[in-house]
Amino acid sequence: MGKLFAAAVTVIALVSAGVFFLHTWWLPPEFSVLGTRIDDQIVETMIFTGTLFVAAQLALAAFVLQSSGRTGEIKLFPGGPMPMVALATVIVGLEVLSLVFVGTRVWAKIFLAPAEANAVHIDVQAGQFAFYFRYPGPDGKFGVPHPEKIDEGNSNFFGLDPKNDTAARDDIVSASLVVPVNQPIQLTMHSKDVGHSLFIPEMRLQQDFVPGLIIPVHFTATGLTKTEIVCTQLCGLGHYNMRAYLQVLSKEDYAKWLTDQAGQ
Amino acid sequence: METVSASLTEHPPAAAHHLVEPEGFIRKYVFSLDHKVIGKQYLGLGLVAVLTGMVLSWIMRYHLAFPDKPVPLIGLIAPTFAAGGVITPEFYLQLMTMHGTIMVFFVLTTAPFAGFGNFILPLQMGAEDMAFPRFNMMSFWVTLVAFLVLVTAFFVPDGPPLSGWTAYAPLSAVGKSAGPGQGTGQTLWVISIAIFCIGQLLGSLNFIATTLDLRTKGMTLARLPYSTWGWFITSIIGLIAFSVLLPACVLLLLDRVAGTSFFIPAGLVVSDALQPHSGGSPLLWQHLFWFFGHPEVYIAIVPGFGIVSTILPTVCRKPHLGPRVLIACQLAIAGLSYMVWGHHMFLSGMSPMSATLFSVPTLIITIPAAIITLLWLGTIYGSKLRLTTAGLFCLGFVSVFVTGGLSGFFLSQPSIDTYLHGTYFVVSHFHFVMGVAAIFGIFAGTYFWFPKMFGRMMNETLGKWHFALTFLGVYATFMPMHWLGLEGNVRRYSSFPADYMHGSLVLHRFITFAALSLGAAQLIFLVNLLWSRLRGPVAPDNPWEATSLEWSTTSPPPFDNFGGVHPVVSHGPNEYAVAGPRGDYIMQADPPVAAPAVA
Amino acid sequence: MQKSIAPSSATRTGVWGGIGAIIMSFAAYTSAMVVRQGSSPDWLHFTLPPILYWNSLILVVSSGVLELARTRVGGPFDRLGYANALSVEHLRERLFWLRVTIALGFVFLAGQYLAWRGLSAHGVFVATSPSSSFFYLLTAVHALHLIGGLGALVYALRCLHTDDGPRAVQVLGAVALYWHFMAVLWAYLLVVLAMWV
């Protein structure tokens, strides 16, 4: 039985590690400025944990194989518990330090640094079960949203009041997030009803919508792509189907799109 | 009528309180004050709960693999919610919510702690029962009432809640306009969990008082068996954690029924209706919930640590490596567990600075966990391993705990969590540590203590088959979920309409196949339990040649645990590979030995 | 067959554990209050009904009275409760003071109810403002725990009636610990409510 167990553990460890290593199922390609750094961190973590994973499972298998059904004297582990303490503290501790160091820099860039001054500002609203994106329009100013004026039947998703609010008259509302490439984008996120979350895998971007808060987040797309935005915070029965498209266009195409939208 | 008691010499100084052995079925097996019966009642509840939770997961897994096909038989069981076996998106989420709630609360918090702990801890202390037998009985019945209240949610018109076991506000707070099941179902959920908290608190008080005050002569804290340390530490974690969950549930209930706004901000438009609340904070719920929720997962696993550390020396015939380091690490984990809750909230909108504050202790907590794992490995090294089923589940525990723990490394870094949060990577992580490792701890405890509890041996052949199929099955079921997560496959989805997730279907089908096979393999365990209970060979007092006090008495123990004799302890629990009259071990209650030699 | 459970210090340990749990839960309520106040400018301050202060006095007095009951037993610091010769008069006195404590406890509860009545007469209800929500919540939860304490006092009374030995005295000591904690907890809540609400 010991042999079987050792064999099973070995096979499981090597096959699993292999699948990770071969990237059989892996991250989709990323198209954002910070995406490479996040991916690098994932890879560094994977190398570290993968090594520990294989080493620990093989050690388990080896020790079980060696001691299973053994007769004769027991062998105490050389050095007692102290090598274990030292090993864990040093190896894990060093790696933890390294990951924290590297990771904090990336994290700070995503969430602690403000968007650049030339960022395109887009307002995002999440509600059961759709995302809507609002652009300020030619006047460059956002109208004020009023929750009590929301009227989905008449496509007034944000509850704008164009009659009394001049800034709201030219606001562009879109069901897709259309952005220019290589340009910082700032999103201000708010929720209409319950908690939602915005996840754009290829931008390596994710942020919860918290009702009652307006949350800013920013990113820069580095490639032309059309990819999906999905909701990742359980929001009700339509949660699985709550999604929108992110379209990254060239700067010219984006300008054209904006003009077309403004004209409507 | 006031009377003065007779001479004090009739009462021993440590004033005695007597429990008379009950007669009659009800007093013996139903409303029993005996910790051994209460422990079995908790284990029974855990068994019913795990089977329920498992069936719910089968329905979910079948639907995920074959979203367009109706699920067989479900149309008959749940004609209102799943007419014709078609799983609607809301029903999927309702199943998922109940699966999580039942498994986390009624399986992982009851069986390893209140189940085994109630039966074994007083025995390992050399005590005749828990400190407060009436509170003990109450704690079980309160827990059972909580379970029944929760299950009632299946039978109300709109069904159970769909907000997940985490019940985030405002989805869980605004009432039925937020979705099916969010009316009565959610209210029943909140009440059930609040009642559960009370049951847990009563249980924790008992464990703490018993461990501190009811140890027999010679049983110092340093000589406590490692399983008792596990239960003792768990009871302290639970005392603090459940004391915070209960207020959270009270606040949520008030928001739902009393019109308060603890968690609901202004300006919410749900189902076209402006909500009459304002000023509350959804993040407040998350903070309160996870302040409980993170220690909760340690409540689920620490008894397993204790059980593995107790069983391994008996099957290795070798003392546990570094027992003092082991206990110190468990205490460190317990302490650190209160500093990490924000790692569930990195993307929640809380201050990004606090993300780093939470990430650091989360990463640091891996160090004592790693040390404990290495201590187990060091115990197995050079031992004389006898692979009983209980031993195999301990070895399996080490393997799956390593796997589950390591995936935590990714999630504990906020910048990586930006991608992996809300994906199947998270699902894989917590299932490995809770849904597999903690369950392996329960299996190990069952195979180990069944002889003591029922006076009969379980069948080893069936046990080994159970282990083999389960071990392979859990890896087949949960390992591929890492890969789904890396691909960006989102969790809590009833099906995958997003274009980029279509490719995952093949993995989902594999996982479903593995999960259903894994479920089927548990039949072997059930058959073994039943058959052994009725027809198993009679068990000796100490079939595993173990050292702790429960093995010093008969299998099963008599009503007062030790036949009127209070054991006197002269040894620690780790006297293995020591020459003595018994062979290669010395039991805790054995007479003192001059100088034990290594066998 | 019978088995003996020796509560001795276990009852006190249990009460300390319970006190720890209750402290933790009120810490949770307090932090919820702090967060809630900071999350929105809709906190309406109001003056506490004056009866609350009289009530506090009653609770403190009841603690003092309970100590009278408890210390009629071989010395006030006799934590293990070993009784020396117990006379009928001492027992009668203990039972009397214990009954007074229980009565004062009921007076406190009545006073809390009057405080609630006073507030609602002024239109301040549970959902009126987050401040009133917390007022009602904290006083209600304290009162619930106090009712538990009253039950424990009644239990101690019964113990003294039927068995006036060391065990009854230990039970009384443990119950007294809990009751004093109720007063300490109330003092904390009063300060918090007076300052924040």
CATH number of the domain encompassing residue C61: 1.20.120.80
Query: What is the domain extent for residue C120?
Result: 51-196
- Give, rounded to a whole angstrom, the gap between the first and last alpha carbons of chain B: 66
Cα C119 to Cα C113: distance, rounded to the nearest angstrom: 10
The answer to whether A111 contacts B374, with C-beta atoms less than 8 Å apart, is no
What average pLDDT score do residues A107-127 get? Answer: 90
- Residues in chain A with CB shorter than 8 Å from the CB of B398 are 60
The answer to whether A211 contacts B282, with C-beta atoms less than 8 Å apart, is yes
Q: Given pLDDT bands bounded at 50, 70 and 90, which one contains residue B7?
A: very low
Q: Which of B268, B491, B91, B94 is nearest to A209 (CA)?
A: B268
Among chain C residues, the shortest Cα distance to B245 is held by C25
pLDDT digits (tens, 9 = 90+) for B419-460: 999 999 999 999 999 999 999 999 999 999 999 999 999 999
Interface probe, candidates B347, B357, B471, chain A, greatest A C-beta count within 10 A: B347
pLDDT above 50: residue A126? yes
- Residues in chain B with CB shorter than 8 Å from the CB of C138 are none
Q: Is C110 part of any domain?
A: yes
- Residues in chain B with CB shorter than 8 Å from the CB of A53 are 402-403, 406
Among chain B residues, the shortest Cα distance to C8 is held by B14
Give residue A156's pLDDT: 92
The answer to whether A147 contacts B267, with C-beta atoms less than 8 Å apart, is yes
- Residues in chain B with CB shorter than 8 Å from the CB of A86 are none
Reading the block at residue C171, the tokens are 């039970």
Q: What are phi and psi of C5, to 5 degrees?
A: -105, 130
Give residue B1's pLDDT: 33
Cα B234 to Cα B110: distance, rounded to the nearest angstrom: 11
Shortest Cα–Cα distance, C60 to chain B (Å): 26
Q: Across the strands, what pairs with B88? A: none
What average pLDDT score do residues B18-22 get? Answer: 81
Give residue B596's pLDDT: 53
Give residue A43's pLDDT: 95
Cα B394 to Cα B375: distance, rounded to the nearest angstrom: 13
The b/e string for B291-313 (b: 16+ C-beta within 10 A; e otherwise) is bbbbbbbbbbbbbbbbbbbbbbb
The answer to whether B131 contacts C7, with C-beta atoms less than 8 Å apart, is yes
Give residue B5's pLDDT: 32
% residues pLDDT > 70 (chain B):
96
**What is the H or E stretch that residue A247 is in?**
strand A243-249
The yes/no answer to whether this complex scores an ipTM above 0.85 is yes
Shortest Cα–Cα distance, B453 to chain A (Å): 27
Reading the block at residue B337, the tokens are 């567990």
| Pairing status of strand A120-127 against strand A184-191 | parallel
Q: Which of A216, A222, A226 is nearest to A186 (CA)?
A: A216
Q: Given pLDDT bands bounded at 50, 70 and 90, which one contains residue C164?
A: low
Q: State how far Cα B531 lies from the chain centre.
A: 26
Q: Confirm if B486 and A46 have CB atoms less than 8 A apart.
A: no
Q: Given pLDDT bands bounded at 50, 70 and 90, which one contains residue B532?
A: very high
Q: Confirm if C65 and C104 have CB atoms less than 8 A apart.
A: yes
Q: Does B343 touch chain A (CB under 8 A)?
A: no
Reading the block at residue C189, the tokens are 């809540």
What average pLDDT score do residues B494-513 get? Answer: 91
Q: Out of C6, C14, C95, whose CB is closest to B14? A: C6
Fold of the domain spanning B42-266+278-585: Cytochrome C Oxidase; Chain A (1.20.210)
pLDDT digits (tens, 9 = 90+) for B203-256: 999 999 999 999 999 999 999 999 999 999 999 999 999 999 999 999 999 999
Q: Which of B327, B292, B293 is nearest to B430 (CA)?
A: B293
Rounded to the nearest integer, the mean pLDDT of chain A is 93
Tell me how many helices (H) and strands (E) chain C has: 5, 1
Structurally, how many domains does chain C consist of? Answer: 1
Interface probe, candidates B412, B415, B436, chain A, greatest A C-beta count within 10 A: B415
Helix axes B282-316, B439-454, angle to 10 degrees: 50
Q: Confirm if A236 and A127 have CB atoms less than 8 A apart.
A: no
The answer to whether B410 contacts A42, with C-beta atoms less than 8 Å apart, is yes
**What is the length of chain C?**
197
- Residues in chain A with CB shorter than 8 Å from the CB of B164 are 234
Q: In what order do the strands lie in the sheet with A205-209?
A: A177-180, A243-249, A225-231, A196-200, A205-209
DSSP B84: G
pLDDT digits (tens, 9 = 90+) for C133-158: 999 999 999 999 999 999 999 999 98
Q: Out of C2, C20, C133, whose CB is closest to B19? A: C2
Looking at chain B from residue 348 to 407, which residues have their Cβ under 8 Å from any Cβ of chain A? 348-349, 352-353, 355-356, 359-360, 363-364, 366-368, 370-371, 373-375, 377-387, 392, 395, 398-399, 402-403, 406-407
DSSP output for B275-295: -S--S--HHHHHHHHHHHHHH
Q: Given pLDDT bands bounded at 50, 70 and 90, which one contains residue C89?
A: low
Among chain C residues, the shortest Cα distance to B198 is held by C21
The answer to whether B128 contacts C21, with C-beta atoms less than 8 Å apart, is no
Reading the block at residue A58, the tokens are 């093989």
Q: Across the strands, what pairs with A151? A: A156
% residues pLDDT > 90 (chain B):
87
Q: Across the strands, what pairs with B423? A: B490
The answer to whether A227 contacts B500, with C-beta atoms less than 8 Å apart, is yes
Give the CA-trace dihedral at B496, B498, B502, B503, to 10 degrees: -120
Among chain B residues, the shortest Cα distance to A242 is held by B498
Interface probe, candidates C9, C25, C138, C157, chain B, greatest B C-beta count within 10 A: C25
Shortest Cα–Cα distance, A101 to chain B (Å): 10
Between the CA of residue B318 and those of A48, B59, B381, B573, B593, what are the distances in Å? Answer: 32, 44, 10, 11, 18
Give residue C82's pLDDT: 44
Q: Out of A20, A60, A152, whose CB is closest to B399? A: A60
Number of B:C CB contacts under 8 A? 183
Chains touching B (at least 3 CB pairs under 8 A) are A, C
Q: Given pLDDT bands bounded at 50, 70 and 90, which one contains residue B593?
A: confident
- Residues in chain A with CB shorter than 8 Å from the CB of B423 are 232
Shortest Cα–Cα distance, C126 to chain B (Å): 7
Q: Is C105 part of any domain?
A: yes
Q: Out of B129, B204, B288, whose CB is closest to C28? A: B288
Chains touching A (at least 3 CB pairs under 8 A) are B
Q: State chain B's maximal CA–CA distance in angstroms.
A: 85
The answer to whether B247 contacts C25, with C-beta atoms less than 8 Å apart, is yes
DSSP B83: G
Give residue B128's pLDDT: 93
The answer to whether C167 contacts B21, with C-beta atoms less than 8 Å apart, is no
Cα B305 to Cα C195: distance, rounded to the nearest angstrom: 46
Q: Given pLDDT bands bounded at 50, 70 and 90, which one contains residue A110?
A: confident
**Beta strand spans in B307-457 (E):** none
* Residue boundaries of the structural domains of chain B: 42-266+278-585
| Pairing status of strand A225-231 against strand C2-5 | unpaired
Between the CA of residue A93 and those of A79, C32, C89, what are the distances in Å? Answer: 20, 35, 68
The answer to whether B380 contacts A64, with C-beta atoms less than 8 Å apart, is yes
Q: Out of A49, A197, A236, whose CB is closest to B422? A: A197
pLDDT above 60: residue C29? yes
Residues whose CB falls within 8 Å of the CB of residue B107, separated by 6 or more in sequence, listed in order: B46, B49, B50, B53, B439, B442
Residue C50's CB is within 10 A of a number of other CB atoms, namely: 10
Q: Given pLDDT bands bounded at 50, 70 and 90, which one contains residue C39?
A: confident
The answer to whether A110 contacts B415, with C-beta atoms less than 8 Å apart, is yes
Reading the block at residue C110, the tokens are 């009545």
SS3 label, residue A133: strand
Cα B205 to Cα C20: distance, rounded to the nearest angstrom: 10
Kindly tell me the sign of the dihedral angle through the C-alpha atoms of A165, A171, A177, A183: negative
The b/e string for B349-386 (b: 16+ C-beta within 10 A; e otherwise) is bbebeebbebbbbbbbbbbbbbbbbbbbbbbbbbbbbb
pLDDT digits (tens, 9 = 90+) for C40-88: 898 989 889 999 999 999 999 999 999 988 876 544 444 444 444 355 6
pLDDT digits (tens, 9 = 90+) for B43-64: 999 999 999 999 999 999 999 9
**What is the length of chain B?**
599
Q: Does B505 touch chain A (CB under 8 A)?
A: no
Q: Confirm if B409 and A51 have CB atoms less than 8 A apart.
A: no
Give residue C72's pLDDT: 65
Rounded to the nearest integer, the mean pLDDT of chain B is 93
Q: Given pLDDT bands bounded at 50, 70 and 90, which one contains residue C99?
A: very high
